[in-house]
Structure 1
């Protein structure tokens, strides 16, 4: 990894995603990288279209924006930070987004705030390690 210009950090508001932001900042300071912070609302697109009310969607969007803002506020002003919110399966959305932005590195927490916490490495981080189009650093 000699030229790390774009670092992707998926966040969900958990302690490990906060630590992932901290590690990404350290790397970004060395390589003068941009940090892309991604929040993925784990909602099946079909369920959004079929069942969820506008009020629920608004609440999910608001919560995601708060998580993104909190994460972005941790990044020093000298580092360029880009925030994005998506909906869908977190595993697939993260790897697709890494490919889309041509990320040089994904920095992801080992465990998030999923329904079943603490199962081995964590299904999302495990999937990202196996499928990301670039190196992935898992932070404990």
Structure 2
């Protein structure tokens, strides 16, 4: 059912907690997993780029230990827009992302809420 799953993540606790759900979902559906990390638009710090590269590698290694192969994508831009664009490019069947416990009805500017509005496919938001 979910051939390609996009997992956009950052260094937040919510993203790390979501990884277990992603792992289970990908295993159940024998899905292709694409990991996405976005460097915030306007951030010219080389440290941010290095941190994102390390974050992607760490996530890749974590999933590889569980026997899951994944593709890594790193982009720069506004996270919600980049997530929607990448989901469209890779023809994702599902986006799985965490939230920081934000009430989505009151936080229309949150990344998760914006992704829900912009996504070309279903979005699973893990609290």
User: TM-score scaled by structure 1?
Assistant: 0.80
SS in 2 for 1:61: helix
Contact kept? 1:4, 1:104, Cα under 8 Å: yes
User: Which one has a bigger Cα radius of gyration?
Assistant: 1
TM-score, scaled relative to structure 2: 0.87
Asked if the contact 1:33–1:80 (Cα under 8 Å) also holds between the matched residues in 2, the reply is: no
Give the equivalent residue in structure 2 for 1:103: 92
**Partners in 1 of 2:81 and 2:96 — Cα distance?**
15
- 1:27 aligned residue: 25
Partner of 2:116: 129
Matched residues, number? 122
Write the deviation string for residues 19-40 of structure 1: whole angstroms up to 9, x where unpaired: 2221111011011111111000
Aligned residue number for residue 8 of structure 1: 6
> Aligned-residue CA RMSD in angstroms?
1.7
**What is the match of residue 52 of structure 2?**
64
Q: Indicate conservation of the 8 Å contact 1:11/1:71, yes or no.
A: no
* 1:86 partnered with 2:75: yes
Alignment gaps of 5+ in structure 2: none
State the 1:108 CA deviation: 0.5
| Large movers: runs of 4+ above 2 Å | 118-122
